[in-house]
Amino acid sequence: MNPTPQDKKIDEAPGENRVPPMSTESSRRTQPMARNSPSPRMSAWIVLVMLGMVAVPAAVTLHTVRVPAIPQVSSANPTPYGYSWSLLLFVVPIVVIAGWFLPNENVQISRRAFWRTIAILVPLGFGLDFFCAHRFFVFPNAGATLGIGAPALGGSVPLEEYVFYFTGFLAVLLIYVWAGEYWLAAYKLPDYPSEAEQVQRLLKFHPTSLLVGAVLIVAALLYKKLRSPFPEGFPGYFAVLVIGGVIPSVSFFPVARRFIHWRAFSLTIFMVLLISMLWEATLAIPYGWWGYQQREMMGLSIGAWTGLPIEAVTVWVAVTYGSTIVYEIVKAWQASGKHARVAFLGEKDTREEQ
């Protein structure tokens, strides 16, 4: 599929009479503001430092818990349909942003880029569940689900698992798009299509991402074998998460970096981590909605959060990072108006044909 000329615009409203005239203040609010913003490279480092400002003191504090509290659950079914209802943590933001925030503020987004990104990411999430659910996870509390099985290698998994991945990718991308196009619109690229047209090729190798990914996987393996209370096996889940984040970064980060709305990304990742920690640390793990196969984990767990594996924290960092890169690359391709091969690989050198 190749973009039409209309794709270079951001899905404009079909009629001017449907959009009321904006006041001067409203117009000023929706237009990018000229200001001295940090470079894309510096913005990426600032977001990393922001995460560190929270993660480092949190890790030090959590590490002081030497004797974790053990939840005492006296009921055989303490949270009826808890996992099913908890999907509202993703569904409600989706409905509010897509059904209220975006339409009410006349925020126009690249719908083709959005849905093509979802079409790429959701099957990957489904594939993780289908091929690896029984390798990485356990689901001890059947009463927390509707009891409807969905297909997976090695036996069925709760239907909620597939809904979880579908709504998760939707929520992450919608939060990022809404934050970038409205809430923090003053800091977006002033002329996205022109910037996209100037890119010679979207596919560019980023060796630093490959090196970081390899170091992380090796470090996880060494920790499991030398320090973990569960040295048997391989940190497969952590490796999958790293690979899932590294592949888009290795392939596209040098170009995506200039298009990523780093302020919107920072808001998105903090919101998603907040939802994730509420979900996993206070509900899912203590009440057995799902659990983790220690053989496939690194073995670094958070005792204060009922032994929550570190992978449960890093999964949404990887998802948000990878999803943002994929979306911005697809959006840049659409905005450039170029054929897919030319956009991703660049113009063919005519000298090679002579």
Whether 350 is in a domain gets the answer: no
Whether 6 is in a domain gets the answer: no
- What average pLDDT does range 157-172 have in this prediction? 97
**Domain count across the chain:** 1
| Contacts of 16 by beta carbon, 8 Å cutoff, 6+ apart | none
Whether 12 is in a domain gets the answer: no
Distance of CA 193 to CAs 68, 154, 174, Å? Answer: 53, 47, 21
**For residue 294, pLDDT beyond 90:** yes
Whether 215 is in a domain gets the answer: yes
- What average pLDDT does range 280-304 have in this prediction? 93
Question: Poorest-confidence range of 31-45, 98-112, 252-266, 309-323?
Answer: 31-45
Whether 309 is in a domain gets the answer: yes
pLDDT at site 59? 86
Whether 26 is in a domain gets the answer: no
Q: In which band, very low, low, confident or very high, does the pLDDT at 18 lie, cut at 50, 70 and 90?
A: very low
- Of 87, 101, 120, 258, give the one whose Cα is nearest residue 179: 101
68 compared with 96, residue with greater pLDDT: 96
- pLDDT, one tens digit per residue, over 19-62 is 344 444 444 444 544 456 788 888 888 998 998 998 899 888 88
Average pLDDT of every residue of the chain: 87
- pLDDT, one tens digit per residue, over 335-346 is 999 999 999 999
Whether 10 is in a domain gets the answer: no
pLDDT at site 3? 54
Whether 54 is in a domain gets the answer: no
- pTM above the 0.75 mark? yes
Show the domain range for 265: 78-344
pLDDT at site 58? 85
**For residue 278, pLDDT beyond 70:** yes
pLDDT at site 2? 54
